[in-house]
Homo-oligomer: A and B are copies of this chain.
């Protein structure tokens, strides 16, 4: 059992909170019965499980550790003190893991697959927003998220927390706007942009199944270079003193309409 906070393994775990360290190792940190359980269930590539017998009172959790250890995954036992040292929670459940990040390319995800819905996000800055968008996309049938240009890290602990595990099921692709543009020219999918400047309300248009919904950053929304690429743009009408919605809210409102149309089409066919 590791009882020292200065242990190199512990230092490595704690450093996974930094984006740079996540990038250089290709790993990310998850914590708690729900997330670790979900990672195992979905077959995520787990580098190691870290647990504190003192804190891990859940039988489900204890079995999880045993099963992983049996199947050859490193299971690192630490004291409660050490666990609390790297834990992100006030009342840690005593189970955490370092997991391999999973990235796709435009080439290996079949963005052309019939009925496939994707989100493309430009320069989203807030990891909480990104995590919430992943969770919402998952619920409304999205395949995954194309992260354009400078974007926050979906493997950031805050994004992980607000994604509620959707980061495991949603496919993640890093892509430049240029690459997406090139791909668009040879692909039959429709690119729909969300922009307050559009004269068309989001519920007045038909959304085909094969769709990419493009959302701009929190601060700027979509700019000229994005709008040019879109097949069409939609706005969310609003009133009052508001001139904007949170980006994860705006994505959800449009996605809910896309999903509604798809559901109604399915019921009819």
Point out residues on A near B: beta carbons under 8 Å: 128, 132, 135-136, 138-141, 162, 164-166, 169, 203, 236-242, 244-246, 248-249, 252-253, 256-257, 259-260, 263
CA of A240 to CA of B259, assembled, Å: 12
**Which chain B residues lie closer than 8 Å to A256 at the CB level?**
236, 253, 256-257
CA distance A241 to B203 in the complex (A): 26
Q: How many copies of the chain does the oligomer comprise? A: 2
User: Out of B136, B239, B252, which one reaches A139, CB within 8 Å?
Assistant: B239
Which residues in B have their C-beta under 8 angstroms from that of A169? 240-241
CA distance A241 to B35 in the complex (A): 13
- Asked if A240 meets B132 with Cβ closer than 8 Å, knowing A253-B252, A256-B256, the reply is no
CA distance A162 to B126 in the complex (A): 12
**CB-CB < 8 A to A203: which residues of B?**
260
The residues of B that contact A136 with a CB separation of less than 8 Å are 245-246, 249
Contact A241 B135 (CB under 8 A): no
